[in-house]
Structure 1
């Protein structure tokens, strides 16, 4: 038997949470909805895009975990996220303003309370 992309219903990453309730609060403030909330696992959604937040933490894993989000305009996202005052509310580093990276994408960076890095990149123009 072989499988194909048509056999995939959904692919979702698991993201660690050092403090599960604090992380859920951060993601709600960021704009995510909690669509399922169980004792040690929550599904967080932003429109049709989602991931699983787990009440499990290993420092080395969290600080090496990166979520890549491709958006039409990284500057718009940076302004919207900056206006939410997430550093003051969740004790995280300030989001970094988008900058053109050597690999050709304009990227802003945002860390969650567990150290997971969000790499919010502007989609390159289509030729």
Structure 2
């Protein structure tokens, strides 16, 4: 592939019903916020990132799914459960489960209703 057609990055804009609560939630989950300007925050964990936006449409938020792949899904899950994310934000975190598509994963919704599927290849 020639350099002029080489892909560099792809980021989703994730909606937030309450922008400040969503930023706090993602920090508590373990993400870092590298910048926050004009209603858009650059949120990342290592090389994985997305843009949190001060924008909310219920139908969009509740139909958006983010897939986040980690090296050790059980350790990642345990840390979030031990940190009390469920209680603090009134959300449910499912148990890690082996899926037929060769992935072990678990799910949770952010405070705006966005579904996160966190997994690792098995």
Per the normalisation by structure 2, the TM-score is 0.90
CA distance in 1, matches of 2:102, 2:45: 26
1:102 paired with 2:97, answer no
1:69: how far off? Answer: 1.2
1:99: how far off? Answer: 0.9
1:36: how far off? Answer: 0.9
- 1:119 counterpart (95, 117, 120): 117
Aligned residues: 120
CA distance in 1, matches of 2:56, 2:38: 15
User: Which residues of structure 2 form unaligned runs of 5+?
Assistant: none
1:54: how far off? Answer: 0.4
Q: What is the aligned partner in structure 2 of residue 69 from structure 1?
A: 68
CA distance in 2, matches of 1:48, 1:71: 11
SS in 1 for 2:68: strand
Q: Is the 8 A contact 2:102 2:121 kept in 1?
A: no
Alignment of 1:1-127 (within 5 A): 4=5, 6=6, 8-93=7-92, 95-124=93-122
CA distance in 1, matches of 2:96, 2:41: 29
- CA RMSD between the two structures: 1.5
